[in-house]
Amino acid sequence: MTANLLDFDIEGLAAFCAGLGEKPFRATQVFRWIHQRGASDFSAMTDLAKSLRDKLAVAAHVAAPAVISQHASADGTIKWLFDVGGGDAVEAVFIPETDRGTLCISSQAGCAVGCRFCSTGHQGFSRNLSTGEIVGQLWFAEHFLRKHLGRDTRVISNVVMMGMGEPLQNYSALLPALQVMLSDHAYGLSRRRVTVSTSGVVPMMDRLAADCPVALAVSLHAPDDALRKQLVPLNLKYPLADLLGACERYLEHAPRDFITFEYCMLDGVNDSAEQAQQLVRLLAGYGGGRSWCKINLIPFNPFAASGLLCSPPQRVQAFAQVLIAAGLTTTVRKTRGQDIDAACGQLAGDVMDRTHVQERMQRLRTVQVVRAPVAVAGAAL
């Protein structure tokens, strides 16, 4: 098997090229061809010496995970299901807005954290994605969208690691993937336009702060440890005091930033006015009295196995009002792509029933009607 060049950040590619007897600037050229121009065929990289193109053709390839299906929502959202082999599949979702294009990508097939309200969590953990599989979702989506929208400039302006999996439990593959997203020779995304969302893997939050302090979203979901450990089992290992301490330390590396707290609104579980007050008191204990966080209330996307329901809209609004009255910046997330199961926590891949995954993939390949995204996304962009 030859090396997949999507697995490398620019330093990794320079090391790989050095192994072929090539100078580092050659790696930069190759990197730009791949990420900025979407090239996967070395013979098309016309400004490289023929000798290098020949060496690369023997030793390397460029391949994103294969697309099993693509669905376009009425609101312009597009969801792709990628085959990552061994019966596993992961999803990525493109969400166009007037001023930005956000791609939500996956970091693992399944997830080991097992949050009660999350469909990925209910499937259990299958495996970590490689750097190439993480970057491949962006590489594919960006160049697909450019081609189909007839654009030669960037379509994806923001990346959020909010698909399947816990990114901070796959740190060694995540870090080079983030470096590729930020590199000026690749996607050139600014640090604040790349968001890692975590359920609270405290030691890895510290690592990320030191290595690559991108925007951080923390999945909170409860104002106290007793409830949070029921919803997010990782809270048993890293309780709220540890988690919020890590958030404060994170901001020391990114002083003008803020932490976004995600809070999934669950009917009768975590959505009372009293719990909103508790949340205000909890957060007031951190951040040294300055404005240091934002709260994003996410309407729960129900699925049968969870046994949970979404809070009614009035309760979400009442909860938000308590936070806002206390001076906390609070937003209620708009649900996008619900008609194609692309909303938060609906990303199920096809890992659920592992025995029938291959059969289902075959069926998807053969019979699924893939709606063309072009007109919809074009209009929304």
Contact set with ligand SAH (CB under 6 A): 117-119, 162, 166, 197-199, 219, 262, 264, 298, 300-301, 344-345
From 115, 118, 293, 344, the catalytic residue: 344
Gap between the Cα atoms of 161 and 168, Å rounded: 10
Contact 228, 269 (CB under 8 A): no
344 in catalytic set? yes
In one letter, which amino acid is 198?
Answer: T
Task: Find the shortest distance in angstroms from Cβ 38 to ligand SAH.
Answer: 27
Residue 270 as a binder of ligand SF4 (CB under 6 A): the answer is no
Contact 209, 202 (CB under 8 A): no
262 in catalytic set? no
Residue 27 or 113: which CB sits closer to ligand SF4? 113
Q: Which does 114 bind (CB under 5 to 8 A by kind): ligand SAH, ligand SF4, none?
A: ligand SF4
Candidates 115, 147, 119, 157; CA nearest to 39 is: 147
- Which positions from 108 to 137 touch ligand SF4 by CB under 6 A, shown as an x/- string? ---x-xxx--x-xx----------------
From 17, 22, 91, 142, the catalytic residue: 91
DSSP string, 28-97: HHHHHHHHHH----GGG-TTS-HHHHHHHHHHEE--PPEEEEEEE-TTS-EEEEEEEETTEEEEEEEEE-
Candidates 331, 327, 257, 323; CA nearest to 296 is: 331
In one letter, which amino acid is 339?
Answer: D
Task: Find the shortest distance in angstroms from Cβ 247 to ligand SAH.
Answer: 13
Q: Which does 96 bind (CB under 5 to 8 A by kind): ligand SAH, ligand SF4, none?
A: none
* Among residues 128, 199, 260, 346, the one that binds ligand SF4 under rule CB under 6 A: 199
- Report the site for ligand SF4 in 143-182 (rule: CB under 6 A): 165-166
Tell me the HSE value of 218 on the side-chain side, using a 13 A CA sphere. Answer: 29
Residue 116 or 185: which CB sits closer to ligand SAH? 116
Interface with ligand SF4 by CB under 6 A: which residues? 111, 113-115, 118, 120-121, 165-166, 199, 219
* Catalytic residue annotation: 91, 344
